[in-house]
A and B are shown apart, each in its own frame.
Chain A
Amino acid sequence: MRVPRELHPVAWWVWAIGLAVVASITTNPILLGLLLGVATLVVLTCRGDQPWSRSFRLYVWIGVLTIVIRIVFRVLLGGDVPGHLLFDLPSIPLPAWAAGISLFGPFTREELVAAFYEGLRLATVLICIGAANALANPKRLMKSLPPALYEIGTTMVVAITIVPQLVDSARRVRAAQQLRGAERGRLGRLRGLRRILVPVLEDAFERALALAAGMDARGYGRAGPATRNQRRLTGALMLGGLCGICTGVYAVLDQTAPRLLAGPMLAAGCAAAVLGFVSAGRRVGRTRYRAARWAWPEYAVAASGLVAAVTCWIALADQPAMAHPGVIGLPSVTLAAVVGVLVGVLPVWVAPPPLTTANRRGAGPRADARLDPKPTERPTVRQKARTP
Chain B
Amino acid sequence: MIELRRIGFSYSDGATPVLRDVDLSVEDGELMLLAGPTGVGKSTLLGVIAGLVPTFTGGTLTGDVLLDGSSIIDLPARERAQSIGFVGQNPGAWFVTDTVEEELAFGMEQLGVAPATMRRRVEETLDLLGIADLRDRDLRTLSGGQQQRVGIGAVLTTHPRLLVLDEPTSALDPTAAEDVLATLTRLVHDLGVAVVLAEHRLERVVPFADRMCVLGADPAAPGGVRVGEPADLLLTSPVAPPLVELGRAAGWNPLPLTVRDARRRARPLLDTLGPPPPREAPEQVNRVPAVVAERVGVVRDSAAVLTGVDLTLSPGTVTALMGRNGAGKSTLMWAIQGRLGASSGRLRVDGGDPHQARPDERRTRVGLVPQNPADLLYLESVREECAAADADAAHARGVPVEGECAALLERLVPDIDPSTHPRDLSEGQRLALAVAIVLTARPGILLLDEPTRGLDYTAKHALARMLRDLAAGADRPDAPARAVLVATHDVEFVAGVADAMLVLADGEIVSSGPVDQVIAESPAFAPQVSKVLGTGWLHVDEVTARLRDRLGGEGGTQ
Contacts and interface: CB of A to CB of B under 8 A. Distances in A.
A214 B56 contact: no
A218 B523 contact: no
B374 A216 contact: no
Given A207-B93, A216-B78, A373-B326, A199 B88 contact: no
A221 B115 contact: no
Contact of A179 (B56, B140, B395, B438): B438
Contacts of A219: 78-79, 81-82, 107, 110-111, 158
Contacts of A366: 99, 136-138, 141
A222 B93 contact: no
Contact of A216 (B52, B334, B370, B372): B52
Contact of B106 (A161, A218, A373): A218
B389 interface: yes
B470 to A, nearest CB: 16
B52 A213 contact: yes
Contacts of B372: 172, 176, 203
A190 to B, nearest CB: 14
B183 interface: no
Interface in A162-216: 164, 172-173, 175-182, 184, 194-195, 198-199, 202-203, 207, 209-216
A361 B134 CA distance: 12
A118 B81 CA distance: 57
B238 to A, nearest CB: 22
Nearest to B368: A179
B556 interface: no
A329 to B, nearest CB: 55
B37 interface: no
B228 to A, nearest CB: 21
Interface stretch (B24-32, B311-319, B345-353, B359-367): B359-367
Contact of B437 (A180, A203, A222, A362): A180
Nearest to A175: B339
Nearest to B204: A388
A274 B505 CA distance: 60
A378 B173 CA distance: 12
Interface stretch (A73-81, A234-242, A288-296, A308-316): A288-296
A33 B146 CA distance: 53
A217 B51 contact: yes
Contact of B363 (A181, A377, A386): A181
Nearest to B99: A366
Contacts, number: 238
Interface in B158-217: 158, 173, 175, 178, 203-204, 207
Interface in B344-400: 359-360, 362-363, 367-368, 370, 372, 374-378, 388-389, 391-393, 395-396
B524 interface: yes
A139 interface: yes
A158 B393 CA distance: 40
A222 B78 contact: yes
B86 A369 contact: no
B523 A375 contact: no
B327 A380 contact: yes
Contacts of B96: 154, 157-158, 161, 211, 214-215, 218, 220
A198 B374 CA distance: 11
Nearest to A223: B79
A371 to B, nearest CB: 6
A290 B105 contact: yes
Contact of B115 (A181, A291, A375, A380): A291
A374 interface: yes
A179 B158 contact: no
Contacts of B39: none
Contacts of A223: 79
Interface string B290-312: 00000000001111010000000
Contacts of A84: none
A3 interface: no
A181 B143 contact: no
B375 A374 contact: no
Contacts of B269: none
Interface in B97-152: 97-99, 102, 105-115, 118-119, 122, 135-138, 140-143, 146
Contact of B326 (A161, A371, A374): A374
B136 A361 contact: yes
A218 B110 CA distance: 8
Contacts of B155: 217-218
A194 B524 contact: no
A287 B334 CA distance: 47
A228 interface: no
Contact of B112 (A287, A361, A388): A287
A176 B376 contact: yes
A172 B370 contact: yes
Contacts of B377: 199
Nearest to A216: B77
B370 A289 contact: no
Contacts of A158: 96
A2 interface: no
B398 to A, nearest CB: 12
A180 B387 CA distance: 12
Interface residues of B, number: 108
A378 B52 contact: no
B428 interface: no
A211 B93 contact: yes
A150 to B, nearest CB: 10
B429 interface: no
B94 interface: yes
Contact of A385 (B81, B93, B300, B523): B523
A247 B100 CA distance: 49
A217 B52 contact: yes
B391 A181 contact: yes
A162 B29 CA distance: 37
B56 A209 contact: yes
Nearest to B322: A380
B423 interface: yes
B4 interface: no
Given A195-B378, A210-B90, A375 B326 contact: yes
Nearest to B102: A289
A365 interface: yes
Contacts of A172: 370, 372, 375
B103 to A, nearest CB: 10
A365 B136 contact: yes
B360 A380 contact: no
B112 A285 contact: yes
Nearest to A360: B136
A211 B97 CA distance: 11
Contact of B423 (A157, A202, A220): A202
Given A194-B378, A218-B81, A374-B327, A286 B110 contact: yes
A386 B90 CA distance: 26
B243 to A, nearest CB: 9
A199 B113 contact: no
Given A172-B375, A181-B396, A220-B110, A370 B138 contact: yes
A214 B96 CA distance: 8
A227 interface: no
Contact of A369 (B85, B98, B137): B137
Nearest to A181: B392
B3 interface: no
A369 B100 CA distance: 14
A379 to B, nearest CB: 8
A181 B395 contact: yes
Interface string B419-448: 000010000000000000110000000000
B234 interface: no
Given A180-B392, A211-B96, A217-B80, 8 more contacts: A180-B363, A181-B360, A207-B93, A219-B82, A371-B302, A381-B522, A382-B175, A387-B531
11 contacts: A157-B97, A199-B377, A203-B375, A222-B81, A222-B110, A369-B141, A373-B305, A375-B142, A379-B505, A380-B324, A382-B524
The 6 closest A-B pairs by CB, nearest first: A181-B392, A214-B94, A289-B105, A219-B81, A385-B523, A219-B110
